[in-house]
């Protein structure tokens, strides 16, 4: 597996990052099986694991911690904070110094490690000064508890604001951004990706299979339907025209994949990691079979003809269903543009 530079950090990571969201009650609650999946990924050359405190209420971090025991030095370990960890306590979430300083200790304990390679803000907060968040994260870096810091689901303007604040206040800067990106959700090509590239950041994109739409599971002639998913209804509600449109596009993409000698999964993941602005695509298997279907994509190089055909199916910069963008910047939603 060929490794890539993570922005300007000098660190090299695999083009596939193992996402651990499905390890625990949210997905695969067989801890032993989840650990086997993680070991298989590491043995295949993946040296990058991404999780978050909120995944299965911390269970995901605990599983990852057990899996990398004895192999910690071989893993670039990323986790995230921000999402509510206790619905009864409004201060157990967000980007405040109070919460960050407390929650990093919880993640370190669950991960059974002395340091986190990449500590990321899961979402931006309109109610918290970015300098508050960066200041606390800077202290963690100087204490050796965190090596690098990153953001997730930030808009282009929020990325710039954070970079400016770090420079002006002599604080640690975000070295990575983690946005959604797939053939069906190309919104970040308009602004986020150019902004990240301009600031020399690494990009760890999530949902390369568009939440399962590009897995081949849902087709026009398929028995199963996206409406059976437990995911947010706006992204899977088949009464919406945008989601019906996805089924038509999936048929075109599946045909292109077959003509190219690839599975739809391989085409989808390869599309993401073939973009020069993407460092690594986060793949989140629930089963060993799913992981095995993802791995070949790491070595697929798409030709210009295939990329041009994809652009004809879904134009650059277009997200078929805007709800798939998942930006934390709510001011960018169509409704907010008119009423803010």
Query: Is residue 323 very low, low, confident or very high in pLDDT (cuts 50, 70, 90)?
Result: confident
Per residue in 189-245, pLDDT (tens digit) is: 999 999 999 999 999 999 999 999 999 887 766 646 665 444 556 777 777 888 889
Mean pLDDT value of segment 157-161:
96
Q: Establish whether 55 is a catalytic residue.
A: yes
Beta-carbon contacts of residue 142 (< 8 Å; ≥ 6 apart): none
Mean pLDDT value of segment 85-97:
96
Distance CA 49, CA 93 (A): 22
Residue 54 has pLDDT above 80, yes or no: yes
Residue 328 has pLDDT above 70, yes or no: no
Distance CA 207, CA 214 (A): 10
pLDDT of residue 115: 98
pLDDT of residue 229: 45
Query: Is residue 309 very low, low, confident or very high in pLDDT (cuts 50, 70, 90)?
Result: very high
pLDDT of residue 240: 80
Burial 307-333 (b: 16+ CB within 10 A, else e): eebbeebbeeeebbbbbbbbbbbeebe
What ranges make up the beta strands (E) of the chain? 4-5, 12-13, 16-19, 48-50, 76-81, 116-121, 146-152, 174-178, 202-205, 280-283
Residue 174 has pLDDT above 70, yes or no: yes
Beta-carbon contacts of residue 32 (< 8 Å; ≥ 6 apart): none
Residue 7 has pLDDT above 80, yes or no: yes
Range with lowest mean pLDDT among 26-30, 42-46, 103-107, 321-325: 321-325
- Looking at every residue in the chain, the average pLDDT score rounds to 92
Range with lowest mean pLDDT among 95-109, 187-201, 319-333: 319-333
Half-sphere exposure of 229 (CA within 13 A, CB side): 16
User: Which residue among the candidates 3, 55, 148, 327 is catalytic per the annotation?
Assistant: 55
Q: For residues 339 and 156, which has the higher predicted lDDT (pLDDT)?
A: 156
Range with lowest mean pLDDT among 45-49, 52-56, 244-248: 244-248
pLDDT of residue 241: 80
Tell me whether residue 119 is exposed, middle or buried, using C-beta atoms within 10 angstroms of its C-beta: 0 to 12, 13 to 18, 19 or more: buried
Share of the chain above pLDDT 90, in %: 84
Q: Tally Cβ neighbours within 10 Å of residue 4.
A: 17
Q: Please answer whether residues 24 and 56 qualify as being in contact, where contact means their C-beta atoms are separated by less than 8 angstroms.
A: yes
Tell me whether residue 182 is exposed, middle or buried, using C-beta atoms within 10 angstroms of its C-beta: 0 to 12, 13 to 18, 19 or more: buried
Q: What is the pTM of this model?
A: 0.93
Burial 9-34 (b: 16+ CB within 10 A, else e): bebebbbbbbbbbbbbebbbeeeeeb
Q: For residues 330 and 74, which has the higher predicted lDDT (pLDDT)?
A: 74
Distance CA 302, CA 304 (A): 7
pLDDT of residue 230: 46
């Amino acid at each position: 597996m060929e490794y890539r530079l993570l922005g300007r950090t000098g660190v090299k990571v695999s083009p596939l990052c193992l996402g651990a969201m499905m390890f625990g009650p949210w997905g695969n609650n067989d801890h032993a099986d989840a650990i086997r999946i993680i070991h298989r990924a590491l043995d295949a050359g993946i040296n990058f694991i991404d999780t978050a405190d909120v995944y299965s209420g911390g269970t995901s971090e605990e599983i990852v911690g057990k899996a990398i025991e004895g192999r910690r030095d071989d893993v670039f370990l990323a986790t995230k904070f921000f999402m509510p960890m206790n619905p009864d306590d409004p201060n157990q979430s967000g980007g405040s110094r109070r919460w960050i300083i407390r929650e990093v200790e919880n993640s370190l304990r669950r991960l059974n490690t002395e340091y986190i390679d990449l500590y990321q803000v899961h979402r931006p907060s309109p109610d918290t000064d970015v300098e508050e968040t960066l200041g606390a994260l800077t202290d963690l870096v100087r204490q050796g508890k965190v090596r690098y810091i990153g953001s997730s689901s930030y808009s282009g303007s929020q990325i710039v604001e954070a970079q400016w604040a770090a420079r002006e206040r002599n604080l640690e800067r975000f070295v990575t951004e983690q946005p959604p990106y797939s053939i069906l959700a190309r919104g970040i090509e308009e602004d986020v990706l150019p902004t990240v590239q301009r600031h020399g950041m690494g990009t760890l994109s999530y949902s390369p299979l568009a939440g399962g739409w590009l897995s081949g599971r849902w087709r026009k002639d398929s028995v199963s339907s996206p409406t059976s998913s437990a995911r947010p209804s706006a992204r899977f509600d088949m009464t919406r025209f945008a989601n019906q449109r996805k089924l038509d596009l999936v048929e075109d993409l599946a045909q292109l994949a077959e003509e190219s000698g690839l599975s739809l999964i391989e085409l989808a993941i390869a599309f993401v990691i073939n973009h020069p602005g993407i460092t690594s695509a986060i793949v989140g298997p629930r089963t060993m079979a799913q992981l095995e279907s993802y791995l070949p994509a790491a070595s697929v190089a798409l030709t210009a003809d295939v990329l041009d055909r994809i652009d004809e199916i879904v134009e650059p910069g277009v997200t078929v269903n805007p709800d798939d963008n998942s930006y934390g910047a709510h001011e960018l939603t169509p409704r907010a543009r008119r009423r803010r």
